[in-house]
Amino acid sequence: MSSKLTIPDLSGKAVLITGASSGIGAALAYGFAAQGALVGLHYNSGTEAAHAIARDIEAAGGSVVLAQADAASSEEMVAAVDKVAKTFGRLDGLINNAGSMIARVAYEEMTDEHYDRVMDVNARSVISTSRAALPYLKKEGGFIINTTSIAARTGGSAGAGIYGSSKAFVGAVTKGMAVEFARYNIRVNAVAPGVIITPFQDRYALPGQLDQVAASVPLRRTGTPEDCLGTYLFLASATLSGYITGQTIDVNGGQLMP
């Protein structure tokens, strides 16, 4: 819960983090709370984990509000945004981190149903949640950070092609929003994690894949959620990144160097 680095302009800012009950999202919830930010902690099925994180944040003196919603439902995400913004009386930042592979399905075997499920949670949710947050972010200017993936650049591993494509969509949306929202002094950027050890990898990694990655990347290991935290904090801080928008920062240990 402690942070060695203090970023003064994040203190008191209200930030909604989607998909924050585990993995990178959970690390972000703890990390932004440690900076004194007011944390909107969105979750869907991870009720017990989300409440545990909220208790930890509050025990450390932080402020957090829980918002349960299905990221694939635009209506539910609008309600989640409104709940966080109205509880804190403001919303300064949005981190679109919720996402899922759903299952590994080859393009040759893909159904419309699978396509819709992947695209709804990974792609459409970014648009609907950002659109809901925009009226609040416009008041003082702010930031949006989207979580994409190394799969957006590689096309994804076996059976993860549509997941990679959905994340490539997010990368393009990031650029388009950056252009449109600049007039409101809202910066929009993205983070592209590589292979980060989270419950996502526990669920979807292929046999031996994690060991292969660890052996092949220049830094000789897979990543952790905490490895990603600093990049999000950097992009959230206008002091540190106030002239950066429309960019994607890769956090992958050198696995891919675009």
Structure tokens at 89: 């009386």
Half-sphere exposure of 85 (CA within 13 A, CB side): 20
Query: What are the pLDDT tens digits along the chain (258 aa)?
Result: 344 689 999 999 999 999 999 999 999 999 999 999 999 999 999 999 999 999 999 999 999 999 999 999 999 999 999 999 999 999 999 999 999 999 999 999 999 999 999 999 999 999 999 999 999 999 999 999 999 999 999 998 889 999 999 999 999 999 999 999 999 999 999 999 999 998 778 777 788 888 888 899 999 999 999 999 999 999 999 999 999 999 999 999 999 998
- Cα–Cα distance for residue pair 67/81, rounded to 1 Å: 8
Our answer to whether residue 163 is catalytic in this structure is yes
pLDDT, position 205: 79
pLDDT, position 68: 98
pLDDT, position 83: 98
Cα angle for residues 27, 31, 34 (degrees, 5° grid): 145
- Cα–Cα distance for residue pair 194/217, rounded to 1 Å: 10
- Tell me if 10 sits within 8 A of 28, measured CB to CB: no
CA dihedral 197, 208, 200, 25 (to 10 degrees): 20
Catalytic residue from among 163, 204, 232, 243: 163
Exposure string (b/e) for 96-109, b if CB count within 10 Å is 16 or more?
A: bbbbbbbebbeeee
| SS3 category, 132 | helix
Structure tokens at 84: 């966080």
Distances (CA, A) of 234 to 9, 53, 154, 191: 11, 22, 25, 11
- Cα–Cα distance for residue pair 228/160, rounded to 1 Å: 22
Cα angle for residues 33, 5, 15 (degrees, 5° grid): 30
- Cβ neighbours for 157, distance < 8 A, ≥ 6 positions apart: 151, 206, 209
Residue 174 φ/ψ region, left for φ over 0, alpha for ψ in the -120 to 50 degree band, beta for the rest: alpha
pLDDT, position 203: 78
Helices 125-140 and 74-88 cross at an angle (nearest 10°) of: 20
Tell me 124's DSSP state: I
pTM: 0.95
- Cβ neighbours for 241, distance < 8 A, ≥ 6 positions apart: 187, 189, 234, 235
How does strand 186-193 pair with strand 14-17? unpaired
pLDDT, position 1: 38
| DSSP assignments along 157-226, one per residue | STT-HHHHHHHHHHHHHHHHHHHHHGGGTEEEEEEEE-SB-SHHHHHHPPTTHHHHHHHHSTTSS-B-HH
